[in-house]
Amino acid sequence: MPISRAPLTTTHPHGYVLVRADRKLGLLRISKNASTESKVRLDCRDWIAFDQFDGPSVAFLRDPYGRFLSSIPETMLRVTHFQIEDPSRKDRVTAPEDVYRELCAIAKLPIEQFAQAFFELVRYSFFDAHHEPQVSFLADRRGTLRLDPYLYRTSAFDQALDQIEARFGVKAVPVAQQSNKGGAKPLAGRSKPIDMARKLSGTGVYKRVEHGGPLMVRHGGGTDGPTTIREINVWCNQFTAELKRAALPASLRAGIEELYADDVALWQRIEAVGGDVPASTIWDAANAPAKGAAA
């Protein structure tokens, strides 16, 4: 597939699959590819290293352009400071100092300009797994598959679950109420009693953290500082809505598809065959997706 790839990010457990308790199936989670929903629906719970799991595995692929745009607010949500660990927030992405400073510097730009500047920053360095190339989750640095999961499309998620059930003899967990329906970040507990308990105890979305990050710079008064998870989620929802309304230039799409050329080739190939195939059957063919589509 790719001749080489950039070093792996440190914001994802690369080299591990998330495995069901019965060990009938492992899930290779690829960030921003329905990774949380697929984990829940396939009932995968335990992280096991690639070379320690000998069962079958699956992975979901996504259109690279849509995935990149979805990664922007997710990264903004989690990159709230740089380098050092912040014990007040365990889901935070630690970014290099220069990347963090630049994110804060561009935070107030008009959304179209911000999207372009964010892309330029990602082109400088893949600093978060949410925008890391999909092929990096699958391959070593020379482009050789480290694992050979069956591949499915996030755009046909329900069909994929049916195919997985039929092929591997597992039963998907029924749909539950979504806590972040439509991609929106939660602003309260899942029920009134839970919400009240968390509000009184300062936990969950009411937990106070040391840094609001670039979202706080953009929406919360212009400077970074202490805030709550709830406020960060409010700002993230505002930012996401703004990004969805933006008229982004065709040149940005072209740049994204060039940067993620290996992902584009793999996506075109999985689209052509419809999914439910081992990665190895389309890996090399993805270098020539047009020919593969005609196969």
Instruction: Verify that 247 and 189 share a domain, yes or no.
Output: yes
Residue 202 is given by DSSP the state T
Instruction: Verify that 146 and 120 share a domain, yes or no.
Output: no
Q: How far apart are CA 274 and CA 110, in angstroms?
A: 38
Closest CA to 37 of 134, 198, 152, 124: 152
13-22, 147-156, 281-290: segment of lowest average pLDDT = 281-290
Confidence bin at 295 (pLDDT 50/70/90): very low
Higher pLDDT, 192 or 81: 192
pLDDT of residue 178 exceeding 80, the answer is no
Q: Determine, yes or no, domain membership for 72.
A: no
Average pLDDT, rounded, for the chain:
88
Q: Which pLDDT belongs to residue 289?
A: 42
Q: Using the structure block, give the residue that is written with the tokens 């000998």.
A: 54
Which residues, other chains included, contact 183 with Cβ-Cβ below 8 Å and sequence gap of 6+?
70, 73, 240
Domain that holds residue 39: 1-63+132-176+261-295
Q: Determine, yes or no, domain membership for 70.
A: no
Backbone angles phi and psi of 174, in degrees to 5: -60, 155
- Residue type at 241 in one-letter notation: A
Q: Determine, yes or no, domain membership for 5.
A: yes
Q: Which pLDDT belongs to residue 223?
A: 81
Q: Which pLDDT belongs to residue 202?
A: 79
Q: Determine, yes or no, domain membership for 23.
A: yes
Instruction: Verify that 118 and 214 share a domain, yes or no.
Output: yes
Instruction: Verify that 104 and 198 share a domain, yes or no.
Output: yes
Instruction: Verify that 237 and 272 share a domain, yes or no.
Output: no
Instruction: Verify that 255 and 148 share a domain, yes or no.
Output: no
203-227 mean pLDDT:
85
Q: Determine, yes or no, domain membership for 25.
A: yes
122-141 mean pLDDT:
95
Instruction: Verify that 185 and 287 share a domain, yes or no.
Output: no
Instruction: Verify that 111 and 189 share a domain, yes or no.
Output: yes
Counting the structural domains of the chain, the total is: 2
Closest CA to 134 of 37, 56, 20, 34: 34
Q: How far apart are CA 23 and CA 20, in angstroms?
A: 5
Instruction: Verify that 191 and 172 share a domain, yes or no.
Output: no
Q: Determine, yes or no, domain membership for 295.
A: yes
Q: Which pLDDT belongs to residue 224?
A: 78
Q: Determine, yes or no, domain membership for 9.
A: yes
- Residue type at 38 in one-letter notation: S
pLDDT of residue 138 exceeding 70, the answer is yes
Q: Which pLDDT belongs to residue 286?
A: 62
Residue 247 CA from chain centroid, whole number: 23
Instruction: Verify that 170 and 36 share a domain, yes or no.
Output: yes
Instruction: Verify that 253 and 189 share a domain, yes or no.
Output: yes
pLDDT of residue 37 exceeding 50, the answer is yes
Instruction: Verify that 210 and 255 share a domain, yes or no.
Output: yes
Q: Determine, yes or no, domain membership for 147.
A: yes
Q: Which pLDDT belongs to residue 1?
A: 53
Q: Which pLDDT belongs to residue 207?
A: 84
Neighbours of 49 (CB within 10 A): 10
